[in-house]
Amino acid sequence: EEVENFEKATKQQEEQNRKRQTEAEKPRKKSPRKQEDETPPKTLTTEEILQYVDKLAESWEERFEEHHHNSYVVRYATFCLCFGAEKEEAVKHMADKFGGEYADTERVAREIYKHTERLGTWKIRQQGDDEQKRYTSMRALLGWLGARYEMHHNTLSNQYEVRAINIGEKLYLDWTEVDTRVSNSLFVKMELENICTTQKKLDTVIRSNFSPEFNPMEEYLKSLPKWDRKTDYIAELAHRVTVMQTGGYRHTEEDFAYAFKKWLVNMVVCWVRPDVTNQSIMVFVGKGGIFKTTFFDHLLPPHLRKYFANDSTGDYKNKDFLQMCASKAIVCLDEFSCLRGKNLDSFKSNITKRNISMRIPYAEWDCILQNNAGFCATSNEVHIIDDDENRRFLIWRIEKIKSPIDFPFNYEGIYSQAVALAQEVIEKRRRGEPCDWVYWFTKEENEEIQRHNLYFRVNNYIAERINKFYRVPDADT
């Protein structure tokens, strides 16, 4: 009986094992949510995408009007590309829609469509998407951001920036640096609009090629009209400065205008070419209240004036000074005075560095940054240098300056001329042709600068005593 019970129990156990194995081999039924998650989304046609972009464009702050035709078409074409509209159909649509008022519509659209790596990278959220509060796909995340904001990586300030593009937005109407507060605000808004993601994923998108590189100085210079090659706008700007007649070597207004033009054009080249560093420092010395610092501050157009830095610390060894060199277009050394010792060595080294290695916010490693800045300085003192190697200093004693506030500069003329002069030199050198004028100081000119700077040397008490009380004896003495 015990044997029979044992055999019966064994058979029951084997039967249960077979049932379990059979159940395991059967295909599992998917939960309703899983089935919904794996349902392929509807593929929109190009016509539907174009209709969607047209609808988005109705809420854009920027309108298709004079002086905005190019930027509007660029944005429109970018949306079509990123949402996946077919190229030829989209180009024809844009040509029909905008070509009557903007002749370059088709050319611009085709240029945008050359970026094939961005085709279809954004997703149009359709009804029912993300209703189960699952994580939003990357394409949907890119589509949501791209339809509401423009983002770029500012290569001058080394910051990522955001700007709202739709009417009715209250935040980020102008380009705004994406700091922790801005990033958190974007994340909260996405959550409120049922875009389910993570803070890390959002930051990853912002600090990726989703934000194209942007050099504000280069974009401004590209937007300028061509120089008429008749009016010398830079000379007109230089003549606003009245140089004091000191009797010093090469210290006339004509000499100043010549040096100022070289300094300015070299600075412009430095903004856009990583292989060029502006090693000369334009220095104004004179009494206070004659617009010395104001003149340099107003060298940049109003919308670019945030790239002007005024440093009065006199400490050129610290990280803050290096940060200014890598993130500003013009650095003005206010209340400049005689440099000595390690501070002088650091100053010479830092302003002539082509690249600067340092850690910037949000970066995991040190970054190699370009030294973008042009340098200038002001001082109330006359004798401010105590170094034999002073060719970098272009020092001028100023009597007065015409107010840049009351009489604004002609920025278009000044910078269009600077670009034309620089391009002419670069092109001639590329062809191996001689240049009558270059935007840097030659060896002979550097020697003249050092002679010119003798007037501004710090008085040496011992040398003065020797010159006063001793003389070299005559041969017959």
- Strand segments, DSSP code E, in 288-390 are 308-311, 330-333, 355-358, 367-370, 374-379
Domain ranges of the chain: 46-214, 218-461
| pTM for the structure as a whole | 0.76
For the chain, how are helix, strand and coil distributed in percent, rounded to 5?
45, 10, 40
CB 152 within 8 A of CB 211: yes
The architecture of the domain spanning 218-461 is 3-Layer(aba) Sandwich (3.40)
Nearest Cα to Cα of residue 360 among 309, 310, 325: 325
Say yes or no to pLDDT of 183 above 90: yes
Going by pLDDT thresholds of 50, 70 and 90, the confidence category of residue 33 is: very low
376-423: per-residue pLDDT in tens? 999 999 988 886 768 889 999 999 999 999 999 999 999 999 999 999
Q: Which pLDDT value is given to residue 351? A: 79
Burial 14-28 (b: 16+ CB within 10 A, else e): eeeeeeeeeeeeeee
For 121-169, the pLDDT digits (tens) are 898 877 655 544 467 889 989 999 999 999 999 999 889 999 999 988 8
Q: Work out the end-to-end distance of the chain between its first and last CA atoms, rounded to an integer number of angstroms.
A: 148
Tokens of 347: 């100053």
Query: What are the tokens at 90?
Result: 């989209």
Distance separating alpha carbons of residues 259 and 264, to the nearest angstrom: 9
List C-alpha distances in Å: 169 to 166, 174, 182: 6, 11, 14
What CA–CA distance (Å, rounded) separates 100 from 148? 27
Q: What is the pLDDT of residues 36-72, one digit of tens each?
A: 344 455 678 999 999 999 999 999 989 999 889 999 9
- pLDDT higher than 60, residue 29: no
Task: Give helix 319-327 / helix 341-352 axis angle, nearest 10°.
Answer: 20
Side chain identity, residue 211: S
